[in-house]
Amino acid sequence: MKLAENKATLSFSNGSPSVDLPVYQGTVGPDVIDIRKLYGQTGMFTYDPGFLSTASCQSSITYIDGDKGELLYRGYPIEQLATQCDYLDTCYLLLNGELPKQQERQDFHKLVINHTMVNEQMQFFLRGFRRDAHPMAVLTGLVGALSAFYHDSTDINNPEHRKIAAIRLIAKMPTLVAMAYKYGVGQPYMYPQNDLSYAGNFLRMMFGTPCEEYKVNPVLERALDRIFILHADHEQNASTSTVRLCGSSGTNPFAAIAAGVACLWGPAHGGANEACLNMLEDIQRQGGIAKVGQFMEQVKDKNSGVKLMGFGHRVYKNYDPRATLMQETCNEVLSELGLENDPLFKLAKEVEKIALEDDYFVQRKLYPNVDFYSGIVQRAIGIPVNLFTGVFTLARTVGWIAQLNEMISDPEYKIGRPRQLFAGSATRNVTPVGDR
Ligand code: SDX
């Protein structure tokens, strides 16, 4: 970050002295006004619920240009990473800042694959849940519970510990997601198999059984790997900000990541792919494409509380570049599985077409986001709807860890502690209950 030529001067209509605030420039993107001394100089806070105009940190990991519909991981466009790299290359890049050279790539892949098993006790932890528990409830518990098993990598101020915890979380998340699924369907867990790829291993742990050999379909394996790449990181989104704030207290990385899992579950965030698929299935049940117009009227009626799930984004005011890539993957998977005429996919494309031509959405710059097509791909692969956010969790774990480690390795970082505009009662005295 470098000091800009420009500076900000805050003046007040009530005659209070004006305040000069430094403006900093990043490599690319909006400049920032440094308000850290504002309260000390004016006795006032800034006010920005929802953080629409607030940069919470300085980061070098992911850059998004919402107007251009651009997403870069460490400077590399998502379109190039999703077509020329695999997910573990992307993990190495997000964690270390550079793509791996050949030997680094082999070592990293081997390191991750050799940490995919979880402590055998974890299966007994699962037994505490009802079989019909939502997988995200199970995952929130399982990820937090990792801190009970891996004490030797919980000192966040030890760079070696941070590295081991990162590898453990990236390696074990697919195993935990698959265990949450198997527990729900009452099937035995499948142990990881180290001669498979990261995505292939996940497919086998999900859909394999001890009764027969599981053959990984390379098209589905590639599709899943791309889904992981597209969801790996996304700047200071709600769950990443949760992980940073939670981690700023000095808690262990497993606990901080568990907080991110809980936040991602929400339907306005990572839970949108599940909500989007449920929305499409509802429209399908009510009559399909013929009913889309009526549904759109509901969405435009503010009192209905109905949103077009998978549409809109706080940052993208253009097409989410991940949605374009996800649609391509959708086409590949559906044709591989002979589902080109999948009614839900056709309905989704019709909904997208209608929305992109409708003034309500055009005026508000609402475009499909990453969640609009990811549910259709995952459903075609056989992943149950209530596990979609679990897959998002699996993919986003590396982004959360990279952002957490970036914060902790910044000597300037402090515990996050926002203030407020107080609108409650001023001081008053307690009166005896008989007089209230
Ligand atoms: C993810 O932050 C990230 O980077 C998240 C994510 C990541 O990778 O981490 O990209 C992943 O969470 C993607 C977003 C998934 N969520 C959904 O698809 C749920 C549906 N989308 C909306 O809930 C909404 O678009 C948000 C939450 C995503 C963004 O909301 P904002 O930025 O707070 O925008 P807003 O609610 O202020 O909306 C602006 C206007 C409003 O109308 P007006 O009051 O101006 O009349 O657009 C409307 C909103 O009502 N609007 C929608 C809409 N999204 C916004 N109207 C109908 N359907 C929608 N989906």
Give the pLDDT confidence of 338-350 residue by residue, as tens digits. Answer: 998 888 888 998 9
Compute, in angstroms, the gap from residue 418 CA to the centroid of ligand 1.
24
Q: Candidates 300, 316, 366: which one to mutate for ligand 1, based on the most atoms within 8 Å of Cβ?
A: 366
Compute, in angstroms, the gap from residue 404 CA to the centroid of ligand 1.
25
The pTM of this model reads: 0.94
- Asked whether the beta carbons of 406 and 60 are under 8 A apart, the reply is yes
User: Residue 90 has which token pair?
Assistant: 């992307």
- Exposed/middle/buried for residue 377 (C-beta within 10 Å: 0-12, 13-18, 19+): buried
**CA atoms of 124 and 261, how far apart (whole Å):** 21
Active site residue 371: yes
Compute, in angstroms, the gap from residue 316 CA to the centroid of ligand 1.
10
- The Cβ of residue 60 has, within 10 Å, a number of other Cβ atoms equal to 13
Range with the lowest mean pLDDT among 89-103, 204-218, 222-236, 308-322? 308-322
Q: List every span in the chain annotated with CATH 2.20.28.60.
A: 2-55
Residue with structure tokens 């099937």? 187
Main-chain phi, psi angles of 70, to 5 degrees: -115, 140
**CA atoms of 303 and 289, how far apart (whole Å):** 23
**Could you tell me if the CB of 300 is within 6 A of ligand 1?**
no
Each residue's pLDDT tens digit, 113-131: 999 999 999 999 999 999 9
Q: Candidates 277, 278, 279, 311: which one to mutate for ligand 1, based on the most atoms within 8 Å of Cβ?
A: 311
Q: Candidates 369, 376, 391: which one to mutate for ligand 1, based on the most atoms within 8 Å of Cβ?
A: 369
**Ligand 1 atom closest to the CA of 302, numbered from 1:** 50
Please name the residue whose Cα sits nearest to atom 33 of ligand 1: 314
Give the SS3 label for residue 200: helix
Residue closest to 170 by CA, chosen among 149, 190, 187, 146: 146
- Asked whether the beta carbons of 75 and 26 are under 8 A apart, the reply is no
- Fold category of 2-55 in CATH: Rubrerythrin, domain 2 (2.20.28)
**Could you tell me if the CB of 1 is within 6 A of ligand 1?**
no
Compute, in angstroms, the gap from residue 127 CA to the centroid of ligand 1.
37
* pLDDT at res. 247: 95
- Fold category of 112-270+385-409 in CATH: Citrate Synthase; domain 1 (1.10.580)
Compute, in angstroms, the gap from residue 415 CA to the centroid of ligand 1.
29
Q: List every span in the chain annotated with CATH 1.10.580.10.
A: 112-270+385-409
**Could you tell me if the CB of 366 is within 6 A of ligand 1?**
yes
Task: State whether CATH 1.10.230.10 applies to domain 272-381.
Answer: yes
Residue with structure tokens 């080109």? 340
Region of residue 44 (left: phi > 0; alpha: psi -120 to 50; beta: else): beta
| Catalytically annotated residue among 152, 313, 320, 410 | 313
- Asked whether the beta carbons of 283 and 338 are under 8 A apart, the reply is no
Adjacency order of strands within the sheet including 32-33: 2-10, 19-25, 32-33
Active site residue 195: no
- H or E stretch at 95: helix 87-96
Q: What is the mean pLDDT of residues 236-257?
A: 96
**Could you tell me if the CB of 375 is within 6 A of ligand 1?**
no
- Asked whether the beta carbons of 69 and 320 are under 8 A apart, the reply is yes
Each residue's pLDDT tens digit, 279-320: 999 999 999 999 999 999 999 998 999 999 999 999 898 889
Confidence tier at 408 by pLDDT (50, 70, 90): very high
**CA atoms of 142 and 325, how far apart (whole Å):** 31
Q: List every span in the chain annotated with CATH 1.10.230.10.
A: 272-381
